[in-house]
Amino acid sequence: MYENITYEVKDGIGYLTINRPKALNALNTEVLKEIQKCLDEDIAPDDSINVVIVTGAGRAFVAGADIVEMKDATTNEGHAYTERGHKVMNTIDHMPKIFIAAVNGFALGGGCELSMACDIRLASEKAVFGQPEVGLGIIPGFGGTQRLPRLVGKGMAKYIILSATNIRADEAYRIGLVQKVVAPEELMPEAEKLAKKISSKAPIAVRQAKAAINAGLDTDLNTGSRFEIEAMTQCFASEDKTEGMTAFVEKRDPEFKNK
């Protein structure tokens, strides 16, 4: 059904794999269209999954937007391409499901941006992160100028973006860009372990926590606090809150119903 990505659901976890290994999974228009379709039609409406693992086929996560396609693009085409990329990244960022990037190799340009649109990044020791765009005469255009400083701070983001310096997984971990680095063969098991752990928690609470964190980082503390109060109120209105607390008191595992 898709030519440049694969999507499957196993044991209640979604697996979205960018699958264009000949071009190191570069995001051309077709790839972006397929990711968007998968997000809108396969993932968003599927109530049976709460967590999706995003990874790349072969030796790269994603080596960026497609330079071959962009090379001769007009100004208008460049604008449309940037809009398309932003829509994909924002769909991931705002969706009430949790996305874990399992970064198996190069995460450059649009690839680094795709990983940053996800909620949590796990990396193989072989992963390389970077925003090489200024060396190509453009800037990070799939959200990198906005999400990288939010994740690692203004100074480090400017260091990486303005000098187009690629960093290895251990450095990405040190600056807080990735949350855990593991051996290559441990990457998917680690991502699955995390996906299962998150999936075992109260889904409404997990969704509300993601939304509250996102909303707070886009606004001032007072407005963010109001958002948190509303999000908490939604949790108190849920059956799963009663179940979670009752299970604690009764010293048993909770059985959440996403209600």
Distance CA 114, CA 131 (A): 12
By CB under 6 A, name the one of 26, 160, 188, 209 that touches ligand CO8.
26
By CB under 6 A, name the one of 20, 109, 178, 256 that touches ligand CO8.
109
Cβ-proximal residues to 141 (8 Å cutoff; 6+ apart), any chain: 65, 81, 82, 85, 86, 110, 133
Cβ-proximal residues to 63 (8 Å cutoff; 6+ apart), any chain: 23, 24, 25, 26, 106, 108, 109, 111
For ligand CO8, give the closer residue by CB, 14 or 132. 132
- Residue 228 annotated to the active site: no
Q: Quick one: which segment of 3-11, 66-74, 235-243, 245-253 binds ligand CO8 (CB under 6 A)?
A: 66-74
- Residue 185 annotated to the active site: no
By CB under 6 A, name the one of 67, 211, 215, 235 that touches ligand CO8.
67
How open is the CA angle 41-217-34, to the nearest 5 degrees? Answer: 20
How many helices (H) does the chain have, and how many strands (E)? 11, 10
For ligand CO8, give the closer residue by CB, 51 or 63. 63
Interface with ligand CO8, residue 68, by CB under 6 A: yes
By CB under 6 A, name the one of 34, 119, 133, 240 that touches ligand CO8.
133
The continuous run of DSSP H or E covering 10 comes out as: strand 5-10
Distance CA 160, CA 153 (A): 11
* Active-site residue (options: 133, 171, 185, 243): 133
> Residue 230: phi, psi to the nearest 5?
-65, -40
* Active-site residue (options: 113, 171, 190, 255): 113
- Cβ atoms of residues 18 and 35 within 8 Å: yes
By CB under 6 A, name the one of 53, 121, 129, 141 that touches ligand CO8.
141
Interface with ligand CO8, residue 132, by CB under 6 A: yes
Q: Could you list the residues that contact ligand CO8 (CB under 6 A)?
A: 23-24, 26, 63-68, 70, 78, 81-82, 85, 106, 108-110, 132-133, 136, 140-142
As annotated, the active-site residues are 113, 133
